[in-house]
Amino acid sequence: MPASPEDLHTSRKRNVDEDDRLVALAKENREAFGALYAKYWEPVYRFIYKRIMGEERVKDIAQVVFIKAMLNLHKYETRGFAFSSWLFRIALNEIADAAKKEKNLGIVDVPADGKEELVLEPDIGLRDFQLEQLVEALNQSSPEDVELIELRFFEKRRLREVANILGISETNCKVRMHRTMKRLKATIEKLK
Amino acid sequence: MNRKVVTGRTHPSSEEVNSLQNFGEIIGGVSKIRRERRIKISLATAAAAIATLIIGLWPSIDTNDQTTAELSTDSKTEILAVDSHSDLETLYPIQVENYDINPEVDNLIVTSNGTLIDVPAGSFSGSENVTLEFKDLSDPMTVFVSQISMDFDSLGVKYHFQSGGMFELTALSDNQVLLMNDGSEIQVSYPTLTSDQGMNQYRYDIETKSWTYDMPMPLDQLKGVCETHKVDFTKQQSKRKAPNRLTDFQGEVDAILATVPDEPQLASSKHYKFHFDFDPLDFPELAGFEDIMFQAKDSRFKRSFYENSWDAVELKKGKIGYSIVLKNGIEEENFNVVPVLQKDEYESALDDYENAKVEAEAKIDQFGEVQAAHKAWIDDVRSRESEYEFVSRDKAKVVTSRLITDIDEMTMYRTFNLPSLGVVNCDIPFQFPKGTGIQADFVGKHDDGMRRFAQVQLIEMDSPSYAAYHMAEYLDFRYRKGKKNLILAADHEGRIAVGTTDMFNGLKVPKGETHQFELKWMEGSFESLDELKAELHLLTDDYAM
């Protein structure tokens, strides 16, 4: 049976509370950071894996993300989100830096159900298009637009979480998302 | 797009990913970086004279928003730099005014600060219910909290803004952002902060955090905005706010009054009286009484009338009461009568009458209150009518207002022409003040010692003008003596610190030295932007609320 919204909310809240406890411990004792590392290694690794070519490079960047998180942990504040949001934000900066320095390193990994996720979004009104058209439209989109689409649709994150990862307000995120989808739709329509 | 789009990629299993964990490497990496930092700090200590140059060149290893770069501007003390909280608005929410409009008709919105928002019919489509959100971003603390960059890049030259006013306008429908229709234009007449000439309209791109120039923006003469345009505010408001309330109520009162019977009269043994079959349809007020009789009221009734046979008997109701007309051939008798009841019927009827009367009187009292309230409302609207006399360009527009505006004929306006919504301002760009240039650090006391603010906002309150100093970017701090200078800064926790004009009074900084300005924390727990503004007002008399 699918989880109810209340169940999801409770589960998220529990997760945030647990993260807060782990962060508090890690601020006191850096060895305690190991628990956060163990908990979020896989999500961070996969987050980078979807954006960077080469398993070695992915692993290196993931390690750098945790090193930076540990160095800056004293400044981290929860704001009601899981610790992973902060890690993802650091990861996005690292990915951008790495992709700038090395050509052909950055990728956009369109999941098998990526097209369907876009179709399911009622506001967009995107219908009857091919995966190839989506790929071409993404190629023609700005990096910022692609980043939003990846976070929201390919990774199925809530708008609040996307806003938090990008370090912008939820309202700004909504506006950006709306504009991004309008542009994507226009590009796909042209390609049809 | 500089990333390659790929599909159908295989992903490693959880076991494969987790086998790559190496926490020891993390600990080792952190220790190494900390060692390197210490070396750099000691280099900086040895070369205090070029410390500010190092600030600009320091290779940050931190994340974009909550960075702490370990720096030194003093030969003895290590001062950490602290970046501002990345979203101050979540801590001190900026007031939003919401206006629900029908997008199918012309709308004129008057906001609480007297801004007039002219929304032509058809500016939005696809929704019957549109809410316009208006955020006034005109006062310095609000501008600071909004964290909207007041830097302006024109062909590579960096400018800052002297502001004539700034606001954000957003349209929402069902909680979704709504874009304006192509070709439509919303006109906003904004009570400008300054009558200075040379202002332009600029538009803010929240994605790139940058401003683009729209058009020049001359100062509107008041009459230019307002002339001869009188809105029939009473009529408009009556339509919307007093929808036949009085008429409805009057109808209710009339209905209840109709149920109140005439006051019953007790039959007197001293007067002539008789029964008479009247048509209850002709005299409904008498129809409810049981066994009613008519009692002769004057001496024109004679006992002999009882004994006569009359061709016709007629009951009439005149201005002063009832009368009976008796007809017999050409003979006609006319006398006044009063409907009366015998004792038992009288007492029962009296109870009914008094109950109905009490009920009707209560309704009438209630009606009086409604009438008084309605009159007060009309008077209030009429007294405000003069304020709104100049607000509308078109009488046909629906006026949406909070009725709390404080505009008068001295208010100077600038008119924004908006083909799309968002953050806009009217400003004059200026380069950094060409006044006194000094090397400066702005610091605040933290639990673990002094921290240097990575960025401060210099506000010349006279204009007001905004100059953001990113301390790593600018080698000197410039300000103009004699101006009402205000410094605002925030730390990573969102605490706000202030430096007031007196901080600059009599200031002399020897060449080559770095002056340390210690900013005052705004102490207390502020739950709203208004509380922050009030505190700032207390801290500095210069701050115009």
Spatial CA neighbour of B5 closest among A34, A27, A133: A133
Q: Which chain B positions have a beta carbon within 8 Å of A125's beta carbon?
A: none
- Matching residue, tokens 């290893």: B61
What is the three-state SS of B424-458?
A: EEEEEEECCCCCEEEEEEEEEEECCEEEEECEEEE
CA contacts within 13 A on the Cβ side of A37: 25
- Geometric angle at alpha carbon B250, from B249 and B256, rounded to 5°: 90
**Residue whose entry in the numeric block shows the structure tokens 């009692």:** B295
Taking an 8 Å cut-off on Cβ atoms, the answer to whether B65 and A89 are in contact is: yes
Rounded alpha-carbon distances, angstroms, from residue B480 to A72, B263, B467: 37, 88, 12
Q: Do A106 and B25 touch (CB under 8 A)?
A: no
Give pLDDT < 70 ranges for chain B: 1, 33-80, 155-156, 195, 218-249, 373-412, 432-435, 471-475, 540-545
> Which chain B residues are Cβ-neighbours of A179 within 8 angstroms?
207
- What is the pLDDT, as a whole number, of residue A36? 93
Q: What is the pLDDT of residue B153?
A: 77
Q: Do residues B515 and B509 make contact, with C-beta atoms less than 8 angstroms apart? A: yes
Write the DSSP symbol of residue B512.
Answer: T
Helices B23-46 and A55-71 sit at what angle, rounded to 10 degrees?
60
Q: Are B80 and B451 in contact (CB under 8 A)?
A: yes
Q: Tokens for B337?
A: 């009568």
pLDDT digits (tens, 9 = 90+) for A85-111: 889 988 998 898 888 778 788 999 999
Q: What is the pLDDT of residue A150?
A: 93
With CB atoms and an 8 Å threshold, state whether B33 touches A71.
Answer: yes
Q: Does residue A5 have a cis peptide bond before it, meaning omega lies within 30 degrees of 0?
A: no
Q: How many Cα atoms within 13 Å fall on the side-chain side of residue B122?
A: 3
Residue from B6, B7, B124 whose CB has the most chain A CBs within 10 Å, to mutate: B7
Q: Do residue B63 and residue A139 have CB atoms under 8 angstroms apart?
A: no
Partner residue facing B7 (CB), from A77, A104, A131: A131
d(C-alpha B437, C-alpha B450), whole Å: 23
Q: Name the segment(s) of chain A with CATH classification 1.10.1740.10.
A: 5-101
DSSP symbols for B61-104? -S-SSS---EE-SSSS--EEEEPPPS-HHHHSPPP-EEEEE-TT
CA–chain centroid gap for B197, Å, is 29
How many angstroms separate the CA atoms of B101 and B109, rounded?
9
DSSP string, A58-109: HHHHHHHHHHHHHHTGGG---TTS-HHHHHHHHHHHHHHHHHHHSTT-BEEE
In contact, B417 and B119? CB cutoff 8 Å: no
As a residue count, chain B comes to 545
* Identity of the residue in B18, B30, B63 whose CB atom sits nearest the CB atom of A42: B18
Residues of B in contact with A106 (CB under 8 A): 2-4
Distance CA A45, CA A62 (A): 6
Q: Which two tokens stand for residue A41?
A: 């290694």
Q: Which two tokens stand for residue A151?
A: 């976070």
Task: Give the burial class of B255: count Cβ atoms within 10 A of its Cβ; 0-12 exposed, 13-18 middle, 19 or more buried.
Answer: exposed
User: Do residues B303 and B333 lie in contact, with contact meaning Cβ atoms separated by under 8 Å?
Assistant: no
Contacts of A104 in chain B (CB under 8 A): 4
CB atoms within 10 A of CB A127: 9
Token pair of B196 as six digits: 């200075």
Phi first, then psi, for residue B135 (nearest 5°) are -120, 115
Q: Identify the CA nearest to B217 among candidates B234, B192, B251.
A: B192
Region class of B158: left (phi > 0), else alpha (psi between -120 and 50), else beta: beta
Which of B8, B27, B64 has the CB atom closest to A93's CB atom? B64
CATH of A5-101, one of 3.10.450.50, 1.10.1740.10, 1.10.150.530, 3.30.950.10: 1.10.1740.10
Residue carrying structure tokens 């909207």: B148
Nearest beta carbon to residue B30 from set A46, A67, A114: A67
| Domains defined for chain B, CATH in brackets | 90-241+390-428 (2.60.220), 273-340 (no CATH)
Report the C-alpha gap between B100 and B102 in whole angstroms.
7
Q: Do A77 and B493 touch (CB under 8 A)?
A: yes
The pLDDT, as a whole number, for residue B383 is 56
| Residue B120, SS3 per DSSP | coil
Cβ–Cβ gap B1/A107 under 8 Å: no
Cα–Cα distances in Å, from B255 out to B244, B246, B260? 17, 14, 9
CA distance A154 to chain B (A): 11
Query: What are the pLDDT digits (tens) for B68-112?
Result: 333 333 333 446 677 788 888 888 889 898 888 888 887 878 787
Q: Using the beta-carbon criterion (under 8 Å), do A146 and B66 form an inter-chain contact?
A: no
Interchain pair B63, A146: CB under 8 A: no
Q: Quote the minimal CA–CA distance from B176 to chain A in Å.
A: 8
Residue A74: the pLDDT is: 78
Nearest residue of chain B to residue A105 (CA atoms) = B3
Residue B414, SS3 per DSSP: strand
Question: Three-state DSSP class for B233?
Answer: helix
Cα within 13 Å of Cα(A13), Cβ side: 6
**Annotation: CATH topology of A114-191:** Arc Repressor Mutant, subunit A (1.10.10)
Q: Do A30 and B27 touch (CB under 8 A)?
A: yes
Q: Is B215 helix (H, G, I), strand (E, B) or coil?
A: strand
Q: Are B25 and A63 in contact (CB under 8 A)?
A: yes
Tell me which residue of B291, B289, B353, B283 sits closest to B323, measured CA to CA: B283
The separation between CA B299 and the C-alpha centre of its own chain, rounded to angstroms, equals 76
Cβ–Cβ under 8 Å, residues B453 and B82: yes
Give the Cα separation of B32 and B424 in Å (integer): 47
- Does the ipTM exceed 0.85? yes
Strand-pair partners of B204 = B211, B423
Nearest Cβ partner for B63 among A45, A62, A89 = A89
Bridge partners for B332 per DSSP: B327
Does the beta-carbon distance from A76 to B26 stay under 8 Å? no
**B8 chain-A contacts, CB cut-off 8 A:** 112
Instruction: Determine the distance in angstroms separating the CA of B36 from the nearest CA of chain A, rounded to an integer.
Output: 13
Token pair 């650090």 is found at B441
Residue intervals of chain A classified under CATH 1.10.10.10 are 114-191
Closest in B2, B62, B177 to A175, CB measured = B177
Is residue A44 within 8 A of residue A57, CB to CB? The reply is no
Give CA–CA dist B175/A172, Å, rounded: 13
> Which residues from chain B sit within 8 angstroms of residue A68, using beta carbons?
61-63
Q: Say if the Cβ atoms of B179 and A140 lie within 8 Å.
A: no
How far, in Å, CA of B432 to CA of B150, rounded? 12
DSSP, res A154: I
Which chain B residues are within 8 Å of A108, Cβ to Cβ?
A: 1, 3-6
**Whether the Cβ atoms of residue B73 and residue B514 lie closer than 8 Å to each other:** yes
CA distance B26 to chain A (A): 5
In chain A, which stretches have pLDDT less than 50?
none
How many CB atoms lie under 10 A from the CB of residue B415?
19
Distance to chain B for A160, nearest Cα, Å? 13
SS3 B194: coil
Q: Are B486 and B442 in contact (CB under 8 A)?
A: no
Q: Tell me, what's the pLDDT at B69? A: 32
